[in-house]
Amino acid sequence: MATSKHWDIFCKIVDNFGDIGVCWRLAKQLQSEHQLTIRLFIDDLNVAKHLIPTLDTSLAQQTIQNITIVSWSTNTTFIHNAQVVIESFACELPPQYLAVMHPDTIWINLEYLSAEAWVDDFHAKNSKRGQLTRHFFFPGFTSKTGGLLREHDIVNTKQEHLLKSSTLPAHDHLNVSLFCYPHAPIASLLTAIANSNQQVSCYVPNSNILSSVAKFFERESLHPGDQLTYKNLTLHVIPFLSQDDYDKLLCSCDLNFVRGEDSWIRAIWAGKPFIWQPYLQTEQTHIKKLHAFLNLYYSDCPPTSKESIFALHDAWLSQEISSPTWQAYLIHLDKIKQYARQQSYTHSQQTDLATKLVIFSEKMIKNIEENKV
């Protein structure tokens, strides 16, 4: 039987970069901070390469940063399983892998992050699948959940390092990073920024929103290195960034527009104001998730600042950002900055996701061994 020091993580890249972003960070932390041997199965190496630049998409298996990365396809052969298996975001383990699993395998389905109240009750519940037991692990913002993905030193040591290593030019502009889904009201945001009384430098990583940005500037296309100015807006198109470089950008900006899960959490650890765009879901579920987060995260925020935060988030989701909404947020930006720093520190005092996963798996293994005696 494989030891509990060997873990397998399965990642199916459904859309964008959130799945692989979370799985790659988690794999690196489990290896570096908990000395675990990690195999990371990825079904789309071409997308993963955006976040893991040294990845060779032609190889079936390779080792990067002490992580064994395996190209996962319907032809993948599984000889043995790890003692602990993480099925990320209900990606469904392959039947060939399930066939080699044994009843003592610690099978964890790592769910998406949510601040909704029901997460506290559903975290760590399990269900049976034949002789196997599947545990449901919910990341979250309270002590009753699986915690947040966070390296141990990120708020104190790493944030100072990232700030010192900033590559943004020195000027008196407000620095804003923009990373969002294509359906966001990008044109109205850029219009509001351009018409505000604050000069803004907006940094846009190369992604699928560039066509919308190009349309705003009446250009056919945009490419990394392009710089465009309209009224009080100066927009910089930058390359798609590695995770480390993206973290530096978040720490260097005064305000970050983020999306999904990975960039959302990194914005929290950057300790800077941010506007979060949740992944679009049916039946307005994404709006419920947004409001659950805002109500929890900003519960102690001064009422006037909170009002401007909620208004800008709702406008970002409702397809229209007006100049007054943008300006009202800027008026409270200094207070929001203070609150963001405080919240970043507060949440960093909680046990992180990787550590909670290790504690949970060790507890499960201990229970299995005791039941055998």
Residues with catalytic function: 19, 261
CA distances from residue 289 to 13, 143, 282, 296, 311 in whole angstroms, order as listed: 22, 19, 12, 11, 16
Cα separation, 226 vs 223, whole angstroms: 6
Asked whether the beta carbons of 241 and 249 are under 8 A apart, the reply is: yes
As to burial, measured by CB atoms within 10 angstroms (0-12 exposed, 13-18 middle, 19+ buried), residue 307 is middle
Interstrand relation of 84-88 and 174-178 (parallel, antiparallel or unpaired): unpaired
As a dihedral over the C-alpha atoms of residue 65, residue 66, residue 72, residue 77, rounded to 10 degrees, the angle is 160
Residue from 20, 259, 294 nearest 141 by CA? 294
Asked whether the beta carbons of 224 and 192 are under 8 A apart, the reply is: no
Amino acid occupying residue 253: C
Cα separation, 238 vs 15, whole angstroms: 22
Residues found in the chain: 373
283 DSSP assignment: G
CA distances from residue 81 to 2, 9, 96, 97, 209 in whole angstroms, order as listed: 7, 11, 10, 7, 40
Amino acid occupying residue 49: K
